Amino acid sequence: MRKLLVTGGAGFIGSNFVHQVVNDTDLDVVVLDKLTYAGNRASLDGLPEDRVSLVVGDVADEELVDSLVQQTDAVVHFAAESHNDNSLRNPRPFLDTNIIGTYAILEAVRKHGKRLHHISTDEVYGDLELDDPERFSERTPYNPSSPYSSTKAGSDLLVRAWVRSFGVEATISNCSNNFGPRQHIEKFIPRQITNLIDGVRPKLYGAGQNVRDWIHVDDHNAAVLLILDKGVSGETYLIGADGEKNNKEVVELILELMGEADGGYEHVNDRPGHDLRYAIDASKLRSELGWTPRYSDFESGLAATIEWYRANEAWWRAEKAAVEAAYAAQGQ
Ligand code: NAD
Ligand code: TDX
């Protein structure tokens, strides 16, 4: 394998993946990204031009995808509409990108006999009760809650069908909530960090008791590289680093790390259909592929993330007012 096609490589996880590929492997990368509001050319700054190129285009453009898949050896498919709150305001782009975009990738890898790794989310499994001892595993039935997670579930099922019906060589991973640099400021952690930089109190949906299972983006991406190398076609791997925390705990920690007073947040309208808890059992990835997370200390990873947003205001500033106006319109 010499050249990867990375869809959504100008987004949060995809851009961190491209940086990791350049640093840790000899592979070259072609990024296909539509540069929606969530994509940022600057996230690819500093990468060597002889190893990384960016094609601005739509993953649902079958002709374009066909020609890029033909020119590369394997595809890592990150491109998606990724934000639950946006999917509640306007679901349509989620169907176009997450469903039709994945279809276009599948048809191209089928035609050209290329390997695919499909990036998905733990949200396809729905949610768990706060006091449930269970965690999600590869055997948990799909039960998505939102337009976002239902389109991701649909995309996973398409991949499984193309493996079974057409013999496409593909793996799937379903990861828990990522944090780290270059995450769009609409998302929970960067929204609160940039609010505090602006002297605005963090906003907790509802009572703030919902639990997310946090993983550093570099740990997610190291697992993706491992699956690409050693994963078995047709298999699904759950990725998670035992990082369960409720939203109030995360906000309290951000306040502390940014030198603000305890309790300096406010409660805002809850998300409709808000999933209560996600929790991942990553035993299969650990035992079959030997993966272990490197960023076991959430607090130091969060402190480094805060520093990144402080040092890179130019990366996020232009988006801030519009993001907050959209939230304010929903009482959030
Ligand atoms: P993101 O929103 O930050 O980035 C998505 C990228 O895809 C952007 O660069 C955007 O421009 C691009 N894109 C959107 N529509 C496109 C289209 N039609 N054609 C080409 N490019 C398009 O998302 P992210 O958080 O980096 O998530 C990446 C992937 O990881 C998604 O598939 C998401 O479902 C999955 N995932 C995310 C998380 C998380 O915590 N963020 C957790 C598990 C899985
Ligand atoms: O201002 C906020 N206040 C708040 O309490 C925001 C933006 C969010 N929240 C809550 C909602 C969730 O319980 O924080 C939690 C995390 O919210 P998001 O960052 O929107 O993430 P989530 O909905 O959990 O989905 C994320 O993880 C799974 C990613 O956005 C998805 O792409 C991924 O599939």
Tell me the CATH number at 12: 3.40.50.720
* CA separation for the pair 168, 161 (Å, rounded): 9
Task: Over range 104-130, report the average pLDDT.
Answer: 98
User: Is residue 102 situated within a structural domain?
Assistant: yes
From the CA of 120, which ligand is nearest? Answer: 1
The pLDDT of residue 174 is 99
Task: Over range 157-174, report the average pLDDT.
Answer: 98
pLDDT over 70 for what percent of the chain? 100
Catalytic residue list contains 123: yes
Of 125, 148, 265, 295, catalytic: 148
CA distances from 227 to 171, 233, 285 (A): 8, 10, 8
Of 123, 219, 244, 324, catalytic: 123
Beta strands in 145-281 (DSSP E): 170-175, 178-179, 203-205, 211-213, 215-216, 236-239, 244-246, 266-268
Count the domains in the chain: 1
Which residue's entry shows tokens 């768990």?
Answer: 128
pLDDT digits (tens, 9 = 90+) for 37-51: 999 999 999 999 999
User: Is residue 187 situated within a structural domain?
Assistant: no
User: Is residue 50 situated within a structural domain?
Assistant: yes
Task: Over range 15-32, report the average pLDDT.
Answer: 98
- Check pocket membership of 195 for ligand 2, CB cut-off 6 A: no
Q: Quick one: tokens of 202?
A: 């963090």
* CA separation for the pair 314, 318 (Å, rounded): 7
DSSP per-residue string spanning 25-49 = -S-EEEEEE---TT--GGGGTTS-T
Q: What is the Å distance from ligand 1's center to 77 Cα?
A: 9
Task: Over range 302-321, report the average pLDDT.
Answer: 98
Catalytic residue list contains 122: yes
Local confidence band at 116 (pLDDT 50, 70, 90 cut-offs): very high
User: Is residue 90 situated within a structural domain?
Assistant: yes
User: Is residue 11 situated within a structural domain?
Assistant: yes
Of 33, 58, 122, 275, catalytic: 122
pLDDT reading at 178 higher than 90: yes
CA distances from 53 to 4, 46, 104, 298 (A): 11, 12, 21, 33
User: Is residue 132 situated within a structural domain?
Assistant: yes
User: Is residue 136 situated within a structural domain?
Assistant: yes
User: Which ligand 2 atom sits nearest the alpha carbon of residue 82?
Assistant: 32
- Check pocket membership of 101 for ligand 1, CB cut-off 6 A: yes
User: Is residue 289 situated within a structural domain?
Assistant: no
pLDDT reading at 296 higher than 90: no
For 92, the domain range is 3-179+214-239
pLDDT digits (tens, 9 = 90+) for 182-192: 999 999 999 99
